[in-house]
Amino acid sequence: MNNKTNSKFNLIQVNTVLEHESIKPYYKILSRPIIADIIRDTLEKLRHDLNNKDNSKSPLSKEEIIKLCEKNIKSKSNSPIKRVINATGTIMHTNLGRSPIDSEIWDEVKDLNIHSNNLEYNLNKEGRGLRGEFLYSLLAKLTGAEDSLVVNNNAAAVFLILKTFAAGKEVIVSRGEQVQIGGGFRIPDILREAGANLVEIGTTNIATIKDYEEAITENTAMILKVHSSNFRIRGFVKYPSLKNIRDAIPKNIPIVYDEGAGIFDESLSEEEHIKSALKSGVDLVCFSGDKMFSSVQAGVIVGKKEYISKIYKHPLMRAFRCGKTVLSILEKYAIKRLNSTEQFKGYCERLLSIKPEIVKEKALKIIENLENIKGFKVIEETIETGGGAMADIFFPSYAISFKPKDIKQAVKFLHNLEIPIIPKVKKDSILLYVITIDDNDIDYIKESLNKVVQSNLL
């Protein structure tokens, strides 16, 4: 012990606070050593303050010190990943974990995940098996492809495809498709990292078959088509269809389509989707597992067997492969989707199919005791899918709106609830979009809004 801690400023032992009954419940949330650090920092700061304030303030009592430590610990307890309620009006919010995993599927995969399983063991041949083999056949069946492959995310899928076929070679990409997706996934950068040379064709808004044809050299590895994902160009825009490109380009040059969102068919969008791209003769299509596909973070590659098996054999496949949890969830999801007699709906698809009137009813139910009190009301507001799907398309919906005295404080209040509620701020109003609020959470939202009313925030 140094002199300082032996001095009159020896406030309280770290261990005394750490073992206090009010602190113990936080072990599970933050871990004991992290809590010990917070206590140590708190005590250090108190000591420092005492040293510098020549006793003008009376020192805190032990109880007050423990309370202060608890306050500091509590303020960190929102740091671990935890459940939140998405009321932002963006259905698949990338910051909020994109598509939630189907709870039935989650239950189904628990047993095999908490026990040993046949991830890479072939029970029919009594020996080593191929990881994901059965899943790959399911995903191929689902999309109408010859074969499929799964990696950690779609960014990895694009990278691995480029690495396998285009290292040291040329990749033709239209200027309108050199996009950035989310934080830092830039098509030109990914190409460079994969050692491929970007050959730009066309302009931002126009690309023609002739542009593609003229760009082909003996060094062309592939044509890469990228879905613009999170933006949309309107007006004088012209791109050839995938089919027109496939028909015009020599068959030995693969066409790869980074579809992104995981949209299967025309029920959701008139744009090129996975099935139409494959039907057009596109050789490989890749997409995210947790956007419209509604399963789990993964990158799915579907397409021609000869190309898929080349990717499968690339040494980097070992670095990008998924584990049992992801693969088992995807497998159950694919089975569920293949078995559904009526058209299966993923999370986002299901929510979008709910009539706005039903959403309005839910919103009114939530504020039934608050309506016209303190400015709570239900207003018409549009929602979007998020997750890089259907950019710039807004669907009619409803939100609960109220005007707090101080927006920042009200947001903080919502964020610090037991299950944090993530609202959207619009000018001086807080909006809670109802579409993503589960029926089972209606009572919780009601209680929370009552707390808002009682907390002098309005």
> Which residues contact ligand PLP (rule: CB under 6 A)?
153-155, 158, 181, 185, 226-227, 229, 258, 260-261, 288, 299, 388
Shorter beta-carbon distance to ligand PLP: residue 99 or 328? 99
Shorter beta-carbon distance to ligand PLP: residue 258 or 381? 258
Q: How far is the CB of 75 from ligand PLP (least distance, A)?
A: 31
Question: What whole-number distance in Å separates Cα of residue 87 and Cα of residue 101?
Answer: 18
> Which single residue is written with the structure tokens 């995969």?
109
Shorter beta-carbon distance to ligand PLP: residue 192 or 374? 192
Shorter beta-carbon distance to ligand PLP: residue 155 or 370? 155
Q: How far is the CB of 62 from ligand PLP (least distance, A)?
A: 50
Q: How far is the CB of 339 from ligand PLP (least distance, A)?
A: 25
Q: How far is the CB of 22 from ligand PLP (least distance, A)?
A: 41
Residue pair 398/381 in contact (Cβ under 8 Å)? The answer is yes
- Burial of 196 per CB tally in 10 Å (0-12, 13-18, 19+): buried
| Residue 271: CA count within 13 A, CB half-sphere | 17
Question: What whole-number distance in Å separates Cα of residue 225 and Cα of residue 228?
Answer: 9
Termini Cα distance of the chain: 50
Shorter beta-carbon distance to ligand PLP: residue 181 or 302? 181
E strands, 175-260, where?
Answer: 180-181, 185-186, 197-201, 220-226, 255-260
Instruction: DSSP letter for 126, please.
Output: T
The sign of the CA dihedral 346, 351, 355, 361 is: positive
Per-position DSSP letters for 245-266, written without gaps between them: HHHHS-TTS-EEEEEES---ST
Shorter beta-carbon distance to ligand PLP: residue 233 or 379? 233
Q: How far is the CB of 327 from ligand PLP (least distance, A)?
A: 16
Q: How far is the CB of 337 from ligand PLP (least distance, A)?
A: 19
Shorter beta-carbon distance to ligand PLP: residue 388 or 404? 388
Q: How far is the CB of 230 from ligand PLP (least distance, A)?
A: 7
Residue pair 413/388 in contact (Cβ under 8 Å)? The answer is no
